Amino acid sequence: MKNFYRVIGVLVVVSLLRAGIACAQTGGISYSLTNKKIGEYEKAEWDIKLSVPFTNPYDQREISLDMVLTSPSGKPLVLPCYFDKGDSNSSAWKARFSAQETGVYSYYFVLNTKGKITESAKGKFNVLPSGKPGFLHKNNLWTFKFDNGQLFRGIGENVGWESRSFEKAKFTYDHLLPTLSQNGANFFRTWMCYWNLPLEWKKVHATKRYNSTNEYFNPGAIKRMDELVSMTDSLGLYFMLTLDWHGHLMEEGGWKDSPYNQVNGGPAKTPTEFFSLTSAKQKYKNKLRYVIARWGYSTNIAAIEFFNEVDNAAFTKEDSILIPHHLITQWHDDMGRYLKGMDPYNHLVTTSVSHRDIAGMNSLAYLDFNQKHIYKHTEKIPAIYPDYIENYRKPYVVGEFGFRWEDDDPKYAKEANFDFKRGLWYGMFSPTPILPMSWWWELFDDQKMAPYFKGVRQVSDMMLIAGNGKFVPVDVAAGRLHAQAVQCGKQYFVYLLNTTGEDLTQEVSIAYANRAKPVIKIFYPSTLKITQTAQFKLVNGQLNITDIKLNAGQEVVLIISPD
């Protein structure tokens, strides 16, 4: 139903066109398909030529071009197209499409110039199987699901931005992303802001990678985003694209240079007007349309996040309200509805807060999952999921966590590394489709922590296979050890961590429903070694494992299977 009304609107216009009522005749649109063959979930691209006048080709109120498709199963789709280059005498546009069905599609283009409608000649193309899994969508509290039914849990970290002008030059996507991929991670989160992928920013700072511009969208950001999408496809990485950083709405932050600030030619006098003015919302919708038109075809863009920590713009440091909550909530509802109605692929949509909720925002239907950030309290992560899930009945994600939020001082590396590890496992054994994502990627790259993802991914894959995506939390007692357990199919997985600061030998007790004698393996995440223990007692469905020895700070995963 998400595209129903928009599709109906286009079809009504086309019907009027065919009837010759208040519509332009066909003409002025020529196009060509650039692909020799098209695979399912792979990019197909069209070059489109227009000869129509315009002032701003990025303002959809003035001019917009859509591709209207009918899938092999008869499903109607509308794909926004984007301006590439040229002027009002002759302009080049593009359509980028990723088919979610195999077989023959039919299509045509619809041009809207201030209400004047023109349609192109019709075309057809055939889509072949590719073996790719497709786009990610909601499934349950623990997993996402690809179009082909394959299950997914996100394992990775934040790569918030590439190195700024004052940071080590090596911290680029080209270095960090292959490192993640090679070590079993499958997910990361990254920002658009004035120093990284600055799509809307005319004034950039703290970067040598991008230049300031007078263009509506920053050409350097467009080029780098094209490269990022191509890179993630080749690496098999999925990412959360964060479209806005809260700082650009802070009077003491980036508001002075914000593209929405009236001083810079934007529509708003204040950060509050960013959320309340129709003209500001329209400008934001132009960006959303461009993002979907140019990069929406990418199955590797797993989720689109409107804001990083929007509460930090809404509150003062003393927690007084700067921007009325109802405006922020209404804005997210408006933008979520617009994005869901305009995106033919139904990308996952979210936003995030630091530590203070925005009234009403967690309940919005157009946000697929809620997201919060946890610093200095990693130990609290396992307990935060149940309350949110109980209240809002939707997936919950810890989008950032860390030992510190102030900086990545290497003198805290030992504590940060410990937090990095346990945060991943706390999420693995909790109802979340994306494991908690650490901040301070530069520190962890210097500490060579990426290989640790291998063991996390190995256990995650085992869980998904064993239970086919079904996770049942199980009570477990382990003395002074931190313990979490889940049952996946016939297998049980138990995470144990020694946080006491001293070496311990503890008995682990868990309810065991299988009749068959258990085989108990001990997996050591840091070394990837697996040993087997025979020291257990099984009495009346209660399994007691008596010989678990963990040094201070050590962790293991018990894998319990029927013999």
The pLDDT tens digits for 391-428 are: 999 999 999 999 999 999 999 999 999 999 999 999 99
d(CA 419, CA 427): 12
Contact between residue 492 and residue 485 where contact means Cβ atoms under 8 Å apart: yes
Beta bridge partner(s), residue 557: 495, 523
Superfamily holding 4-128 = Immunoglobulins (2.60.40.10)
Q: Find, among 113, 77, 57, the residue nearest to 290 by Cα.
A: 57
Strand 518-524, strand 555-562: pairing? antiparallel
Q: What is the pLDDT of residue 23?
A: 32
Greatest distance between any 2 Cα atoms in the chain:
84
Among the CATH numbers 3.30.70.250, 3.20.20.80, 3.40.190.10, 3.90.1640.10, which is that of 138-467?
Answer: 3.20.20.80
Q: Find, among 414, 519, 436, 365, the residue nearest to 154 by Cα.
A: 436
Contact between residue 306 and residue 243 where contact means Cβ atoms under 8 Å apart: yes
Same fold, 4-128 and 138-467: no
Going from the C-alpha of 341 to that of each of 329, 344, 421, 502, the distances in angstroms are 18, 8, 39, 56
Domain ranges of the chain: 4-128, 138-467, 472-562
Beta bridge partner(s), residue 152: 144
Dump strand ranges (E) for 144-260. 144-146, 151-152, 156-158, 187-191, 238-245
Q: What residues of the chain score a pLDDT lower than 70?
A: 1-27
List pLDDT tens digits, range 58-116. 999 999 999 999 999 999 999 999 999 999 889 999 999 999 999 999 999 999 999 99
List pLDDT tens digits, range 437-446. 999 999 999 9
CATH code 3.30.300.30 for 472-562: no
End-to-end CA distance of the chain: 48
d(CA 147, CA 318): 45
Question: The whole model's pTM is what?
Answer: 0.94
Looking up tokens 């098999």 gives 236
Structure tokens, 108: 């045509």
d(CA 8, CA 11): 5
The three-state (H, E, C) secondary structure of 458-520, written as one string = HHHHHHHHHHCCCCEECCEECCCCEEEEEEECCEEEEEEECCCCCCEEEEEEEECCCCCCEEE
Q: What is the pLDDT of residue 27?
A: 63
Structure tokens, 562: 């029927």
